[in-house]
């Protein structure tokens, strides 16, 4: 026992702790369990977890194709080159509601991109329907009554390459008909999904406003990404992710030697972070007779992880 060294060690510990407490935890964790335990939020959507990743969830916490972006408080996802606003995520039904970002204010996009999902992990849910838009169409000579067909919209104008052009949207497939042949002469076409519930309004109103509104409310998608394995992993106290080398599903747990906390949700009370380029592992051993405390702390390289945990708490004389 060293009664004379007690005060200096006691103060040393306090200094170390206050040093930790001053860092803002705006940083990616160095440990997969801790980084994938983060449930992120953007705008009105919160508790975003596996299989999604992006900004404060590293790539190893999700699957390819599930990268999200928080753009001015709007959650966005890019699926096969088309960008969508994410309006809802439900991780128990594995569904989301998304809306094309480029069609919410105008039917004249700057780039013509089809909504396609075939090589993505997403599929339409049962309430989603495709609408086809045609751009820069010829004069409907010989089809003067074109827009009297129930499923053809009124024409809308778009400026393409500096010229004012004629466009239409259709709510049914006209392949093989005279109308289908006519649309074949349009310069470009785009497929965008809308919820089926909006189709009657499109048929009745036929104008750009009706379609912009139908696009804004968003349509349903389902995803699949080994979600049942993830649920098993979560039930076992792990966190879900992906091994970036093998591309296999990964269940991260808190392995010995990692600084993890199972009690505090955001890790704030037991973990402290600092961006930096330091790597240090050590411990503080203290004796307050009749107690002896030993704290272990780790400082990680790069976007560092600072942590302190009571490694041993022994009562009695050593």
Ligand X SMILES: *[C@@H]1O[C@H](CO)[C@@H](O)[C@H](O)[C@H]1NC(C)=O
Q: What sign results for the dihedral spanned by CA atoms 166, 99, 54, 247?
A: negative
Could you tell me if 243 and 237 are in contact, meaning their C-beta atoms sit under 8 angstroms apart?
A: no
Stretch of 13-21, 166-174, 224-232, 296-304 lying at the interface with ligand X (CB under 6 A) = 224-232
Residue among 45, 61, 70, 97 that touches ligand X (CB under 6 A): 97
Q: Where are the beta strands (DSSP E) in the chain?
A: 40-42, 45-48, 68-71, 74-79, 82-90, 95-100, 122-124, 128-135, 156-160, 163-170, 188-195, 219-223, 239-242, 249-252, 271-275, 280-288, 291-299, 303-315
Q: Is 129 in the site for ligand X (CB under 6 A)?
A: no
311 binds ligand X (CB under 6 A): no
Quick one: tokens of 228? 């049942």
* CA dihedral for 172, 178, 184, 187, sign (positive or negative): negative
Between 26 and 148, CB nearer to ligand X: 148
Number of residues located near ligand X, criterion CB under 6 A: 35
Q: Is 248 in the site for ligand X (CB under 6 A)?
A: yes
* Shortest CB 156 distance to ligand X, Å: 17
Cα–chain-centroid distance for residue 222?
14
* Rg (alpha carbons) of the chain, rounded to whole number: 29
Site for ligand X in 29-88 (CB under 6 A): 39, 47, 49-50
DSSP 106-173: -S--SS------TTSSEEE-TTEEEEEEEESPPP-TT-TTGGGSTTBPPPEEEEETTEEEEEEEESS-
154 contributes a contact to ligand X by CB under 6 A = no
CB of 143 to ligand X, least distance (A): 6
104 binds ligand X (CB under 6 A): no
The least CB distance from residue 198 to ligand X, in Å, is: 9
Nearer to ligand X, 251 or 274 (CB): 251
* H/E run at residue 10: helix 6-21
SS3 298: strand
Give the span between the Cα atoms of 120 and 104, in whole angstroms: 23
Residue from 122, 169, 249, 273 in contact with ligand X (CB under 6 A): 249
Using the contact rule CB under 6 A, the part of the chain among 21-29, 67-75, 93-101, 155-163 near ligand X is 93-101
d(CA 159, CA 34): 50
139 contacts ligand X (rule: CB under 6 A): no
Assess 173 for contact with ligand X (CB under 6 A): no
Q: Is 127 in the site for ligand X (CB under 6 A)?
A: yes
Question: Three-class SS of residue 211?
Answer: helix
Nearer to ligand X by C-beta: 242 or 298? 242
Task: Considering only the stretches 157-165, 223-231, 278-286, 297-305, report the one whose residues sit in contact with ligand X under the rule CB under 6 A.
Answer: 223-231
Near ligand X by CB under 6 A: residue from 5, 44, 71, 93: 93
CA distance 288 to 10: 9
Please say which residue, 50 or 168, places its beta carbon nearer to ligand X: 50
Q: Contact residues for ligand X (CB under 6 A)?
A: 39, 47, 49-50, 90-93, 95, 97, 112-114, 125, 127, 143, 145, 148-149, 188-191, 195, 218-220, 224-226, 236, 248-249, 253, 255
């Amino acid at each position: 026992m060293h009664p004379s060294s007690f005060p200096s060690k006691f103060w040393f510990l306090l200094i170390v702790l206050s040093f930790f407490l001053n860092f803002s935890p705006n940083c990616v964790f160095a440990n997969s369990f801790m980084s994938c335990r983060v449930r992120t939020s953007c705008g009105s959507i919160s508790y975003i977890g596996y299989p999604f990743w992006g900004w404060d969830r590293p790539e190893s916490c999700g699957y390819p194709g599930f990268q999200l972006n928080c753009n001015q408080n709007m959650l966005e996802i890019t699926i096969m080159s088309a960008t969508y606003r994410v309006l809802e995520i439900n991780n128990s039904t594995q569904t989301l509601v998304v809306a094309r970002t480029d069609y919410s204010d105008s039917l004249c996009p700057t780039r013509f991109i089809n909504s396609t999902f075939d090589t993505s992990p997403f599929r339409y849910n049962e309430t989603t329907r495709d609408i086809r838009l045609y751009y820069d169409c010829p004069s409907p000579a010989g089809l003067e009554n074109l827009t009297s067909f129930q499923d053809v919209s009124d024409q809308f104008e778009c400026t393409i390459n500096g010229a004012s052009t004629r466009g239409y949207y259709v709510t049914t497939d006209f392949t093989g008909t005279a109308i289908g042949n006519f649309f074949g002469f349009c310069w470009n076409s785009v497929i965008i999904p809308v919820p089926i519930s909006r189709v009657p309004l499109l048929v009745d109103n036929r104008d750009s406003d009706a379609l912009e509104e139908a696009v804004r409310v968003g349509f349903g998608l389902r995803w699949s990404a080994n979600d049942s394995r993830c649920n098993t992993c979560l039930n076992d106290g792990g966190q879900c992710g992906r091994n970036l080398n093998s591309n296999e599903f990964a269940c991260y747990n808190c392995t010995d030697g990692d600084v993890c906390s199972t009690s505090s949700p955001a890790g704030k009370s037991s973990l402290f972070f600092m961006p930096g380029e330091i790597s240090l592992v050590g411990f503080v051993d203290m004796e307050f007779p009749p107690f002896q405390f030993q704290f272990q702390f780790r400082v990680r390289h790069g976007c560092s992880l600072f942590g302190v945990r009571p490694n041993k708490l022994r009562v009695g004389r050593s």
